[in-house]
């Protein structure tokens, strides 16, 4: 059902997105192999719990969160949500989490690491679904909020 919420999201936005159903894309490395791209081109979506609620950081797949930068940017420690919480909050399973078709409103931030690529591949609501889009399209769809929180 999660892929359907992503399809509906794109339909409401009048976006012709080609959701690709592939072999297992549940990890960055598996997704990169399935798509024939580098791990950095995979736009991984990470959910964090803060005092005010939840935020999602979308970053290049070959990067990790820099805890110091995260704390400076958001004034709190980086606390990743556990898999059950991720699915309850986003409506997407871990490995299929994306900033589209979310079950609840979540502020989405894009990490500067994505600017190293023209086209990136976020998941599309399931562990074997992805969509290709330009970084510009991703930015416009998610509210143009950029941060620098990766190592």
Distance CA 139, CA 129 (A): 20
Instruction: Please state which CATH number belongs to domain 2-147.
Output: 3.90.960.10
Give residue 1's pLDDT: 58
Residue found by looking up tokens 């898999």 in the block: 83
pLDDT band at 25 (very low <50, low <70, confident <90, very high): confident
Q: What's the whole-number average pLDDT of the chain?
A: 94
Whether the pLDDT of residue 3 is over 70: the answer is yes
Q: Which residues pair with 133 in a beta bridge?
A: 120
132-141 contacts at long range (C-beta below 8 A, 24 or more positions apart): 132/18, 132/20, 133/17, 135/110, 137/15, 138/43, 138/58, 138/99, 138/110, 138/114, 139/110, 141/13, 141/15, 141/99, 141/100
Q: Are 57 and 147 in contact (CB under 8 A)?
A: yes
Give residue 78's pLDDT: 84
Structure tokens of 20?
């690709």
3-state secondary structure at position 27? coil
Structure tokens of 51?
């005092």
Give residue 26's pLDDT: 81
Considering the chain, what percentage of its residues have pLDDT values greater than 70?
99
What are the pLDDT digits (tens) for 64-121?
Answer: 999 999 999 999 988 999 999 999 999 999 999 999 999 999 999 999 999 999 999 9
Q: Write down the domain spans for the chain.
A: 2-147
User: What is the pTM (predicted TM-score) of this model?
Assistant: 0.94
Query: Cβ of 50: how many Cβ atoms within 10 Å?
Result: 14
Structure tokens of 151?
């190592």
Give residue 97's pLDDT: 95
- Strand segments (E) across 14-123: 19-21, 42-50, 53-60, 107-111, 119-122
């Amino acid at each position: 059902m999660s892929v359907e919420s992503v399809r509906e999201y794109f339909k409401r936005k009048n976006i012709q997105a080609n959701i690709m159903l592939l072999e297992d894309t549940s990890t960055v490395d598996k997704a990169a192999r399935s798509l024939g791209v580098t791990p950095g081109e995979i736009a991984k979506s990470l959910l964090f719990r803060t005092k005010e609620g939840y935020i999602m950081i979308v970053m290049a797949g070959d990067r990790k969160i820099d805890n110091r930068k995260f704390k400076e940017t958001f004034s709190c420690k980086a606390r990743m949500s556990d898999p059950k919480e991720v699915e309850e909050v986003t409506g997407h399973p871990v490995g299929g989490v994306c900033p589209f078709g979310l079950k609840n409103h979540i502020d989405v931030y894009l990490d500067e690491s994505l600017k190293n690529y023209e086209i990136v591949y976020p998941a599309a609501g399931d562990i074997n679904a992805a969509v290709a889009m330009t970084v510009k399209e991703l930015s416009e769809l998610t509210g143009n909020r950029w941060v620098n929180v990766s190592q």
